[in-house]
Amino acid sequence: MGREITVRLRKKATTGGCPYKRVLFRVSVQGAVGHYLVMFLLLVLLGYGLRRGGVLTDETTAWLARLVALAPLPALVLSALAKASFSPTLLGAWGVAMLSVWLGMGLAWLLGNLLPLATPTRALLIVQGSISNTGFLGTPLIAALYSHEPNIVAAAVAYDMGVTSLMIHMVGARVLARAGAAEGVSDGVNGLRRLAQMPVFWAAIAGYALMLAGVRLPEPLLFTLERLGQTTTPLVLLAIGGMLHWRTLGARWKAVALIVGFKTLVMPLLMLGLLRLAGLPSFAAQALLLQSAMPTVMVSAVYAAACRTEPELASGVVVASTVAALALLPLWMGAR
């Protein structure tokens, strides 16, 4: 009986039933989300097990994150942009995403002063509560779920490179440095230098150049880049599992819960409100909402350690927000 229903739906979809096509697509995406959630949980647990077994240490976990930034992530961004078509909507998507992060930081600052929080904790709330892990998790996940919708992926990359990368390196680092005890990481020149040293930055520039020029990469090269890019999320999740410290989560659970709650609930709700006002096309709105619902950006823990701004709390927030964001992902996928 189920087979007959599937066949009939497919027949109607090919005879002018566009609504059926959309329904089938949504069902397939929702089904894929369940598989990805299980995969994410298992890989985080595997990373934690490897750490407990002594295979993953702080040094090897950091090396794993650097490896992802050097090859798989740039490959993913370049291959995704090379398949997309340029649209002025991307500029609007960038503007909405940038506005959401600035508003989020402002709300976090107000909340941190109202509670009130210690200066380092308030700085983490401002940075980790507002800036998403759009590169290591958001863009790879969207690319996997919407592999046949390159424009959605292009909007996700616009959020990642045009907003997340700028805000964490130019603004987030400055906020954390001012609240910590380090010098030399908070000025704009160093922020630009760090951004220019990122391979994914140049991969995005090359991808947008190919998009604007209408040039398509050779199929063997595109195939290789796509397969390399698909390793991004599994490697990142192993690294996140290797960062897990239960003692930190238990000792600072109130601060962790506050920052994680702000990141995984307030920021997506804020984005929903902005999207209703902006009236962006559905492909851009879907990408922005999912990116805003991602966990806190991983490099914030690196900056917190460099600035000596409660590094253990920052690492705990990265891990806890990943678990919470993945658990809430089906909610945000059905929000629009």
Instruction: Residue 56: give its domain's CATH number.
Output: 1.20.1530.20
**Amino acid letter for position 105:** M
pLDDT, tens digit, for every residue of 148-174?
888 899 999 999 999 999 999 889 998
In a domain, residue 99? The reply is yes
In a domain, residue 14? The reply is no
**What was the pLDDT predicted at 148?**
82
In a domain, residue 236? The reply is yes
**What was the pLDDT predicted at 182?**
61
pLDDT, tens digit, for every residue of 88-136?
899 999 999 999 999 999 999 999 999 989 999 999 999 999 999 998 8
In a domain, residue 18? The reply is no
Split into its structural domains, the chain has a count of 1
pTM score, whole prediction: 0.82
| 178 pLDDT higher than 70 | yes
Confidence band for 188, pLDDT divided at 50, 70 and 90 = low
Alpha helices (runs of H) in 115-252, residue ranges in sequence order: 119-128, 139-145, 150-159, 165-166, 173-179, 188-196, 199-213, 219-229, 232-242, 246-251
Confidence band for 25, pLDDT divided at 50, 70 and 90 = very low
Helices 72-83 + 219-229 axis angle, to 10: 130
In a domain, residue 42? The reply is yes
Of the CA atoms within 13 Å of residue 260, those in its CB half-sphere come to 23
Residue 137's alpha-carbon distances to 203, 226, 325, in angstroms, are 17, 15, 11
In a domain, residue 132? The reply is yes
In a domain, residue 16? The reply is no
Domain that holds residue 40: 28-333
